[in-house]
Amino acid sequence: MGPRHMARWLRRSALAVIAAIAVATAQAQERFSIFVGSDPSNVERMLRLAKLRDDDKVIDLGSGDGRIVIGAALLNPKLQGIGVDIDPKLVQQATEAARAQGVAERVRFLHQNAFDADLSGVSVVFMWLWPELQAMLRPKLLAELKPGTRVVTNVWDLGSWQPDEIDADGPSISLWIVPARIDGYWQWDLPLRGGTRSYGAIFEQRFQRAEGFTRVAKRRALLREVRLRGDELHVMLDMTLDGIGFARHEFSGKVRGDAIEGSVRILLPSQADRNVEETLVLPWRARRTATSSYFAPTGLDAP
Ligand SMILES: C[S@@+](CC[C@H](N)C(=O)[O-])C[C@H]1O[C@@H](n2cnc3c(N)ncnc32)[C@H](O)[C@@H]1O
């Protein structure tokens, strides 16, 4: 099923929705968010921004007549989709549409409250709900989705969690990448010049934005350019190490729960000639700790 077929189907669905809105009554208004189907061009933009992959499992929280999930399944012949909606009539309508479009084997619609949706294994979340409802779903998304999951919304945002990308070519379509949790204390060792240097680090995190600080022996330094995208973490550190001199570190790793696995590229003065730089690439294995050496007393002989 090509994109042209999908566009035709979306246009037909749009007309059906206008008719449905006309009969939307006070009963619908009791819910947080009434049914208004996304405009076909916005469905296409949402699907594009999600950068769908074969192994994706997408969910639409408040799936209405199923147009987003069915559109995703028509666009990518391998992905799996789920739609949940609080209105059983819409669930029925979406189920019939999936059957009519030949995607019923990969797509299912459930009569469910979005707050009860099973998000395990989900890699893309679509939403177009009232802003308050989306904001109230945010803790569930952050608690239950695995790092790297894409969240795409039509029009409304997710409060103070800033989007990672915005398609502003029309009503805002926004994309968030669920960040790994790095907030807290970390520790790692690096074998440098025959000795082991122990790094104690602290990250402070608000959604995908993070700042960091580190301590090696009695010196402290800021971790610079902390970049977190899903489970991928990149950090720069410029620091003078006792007995070695000024060392530039570029850390890159994947956050796996209480561990970070990756590598660090270190530029440091060569032992033979301090005016010449040497590059080392070492494994970077950090682990989360309960306390941090960062707070240990410095003493008056601190550099
Ligand atoms: C604005 S419509 C969006 C429909 C579809 N996602 C789209 O973009 O075309 C919002 C949908 O969310 C559903 N809804 C509202 N509150 C819900 C809740 N708490 N749980 C599940 N669905 C809900 C409504 O029934 C409606 O179908």
> Hey, which of 18, 34, 67, 85 would you mutate to test ligand 1's pocket, going by the most ligand atoms within 8 Å of its Cβ?
85
CA of 41 to the centre of ligand 1 (A): 18
**CA-CA distance, 129 to 61, in Å (whole number)?**
8
Collapsed DSSP state (helix, strand, coil) of residue 205: strand
pLDDT in tens, 103-153: 999 999 999 999 999 999 999 999 999 988 999 999 999 999 999 999 999
Task: Indicate the pTM of the whole model.
Answer: 0.87
Domains of the chain (ranges, CATH numbers): 3-177 (3.40.50.150), 184-295 (2.40.128.30)
Atom of ligand 1 lying closest to residue 154 CA: 8
> Looking at the predicted structure, is the pLDDT value of residue 167 above 80?
yes
pLDDT digits (tens, 9 = 90+) for 196-245: 999 999 999 999 999 999 999 999 999 999 999 999 999 999 999 999 99
Q: Does residue 67 have a pLDDT over 60?
A: yes
pLDDT of res. 193: 85
Mutation test residue for ligand 1: of 6, 17, 23, 35, the one with most atoms within 8 Å of CB = 35
Distance CA 63, CA 43 (A): 12
The atom number, within ligand 1, closest to the CA of 28 reads 25
pLDDT at 117: 97
**Is the pLDDT at 16 greater than 60, yes or no?**
no
C-beta of residue 82 within 8 angstroms of C-beta of residue 59: yes
The protein residue whose alpha carbon is closest to atom 2 in ligand 1 is: 35
Reduced to 3 states, what is the DSSP secondary structure of residue 36?
coil
The fraction of the chain above a pLDDT of 90, given in percent, is 81
Separation between Cα atoms, residue 122 and residue 57, nearest integer Å: 5
Q: What mean pLDDT is reported for the chain?
A: 90
C-beta 130 within 6 A of ligand 1: no
For ligand 1, whether the C-beta of 67 sits within 6 Å is yes
Confidence of residue 301 (pLDDT cuts 50, 70, 90): confident
CB-based burial, 37-50: b 16+ in 10 Å, e otherwise: bbbbebbbbbbebb
**Cα–ligand 1 centroid distance for 280 (angstroms):** 53
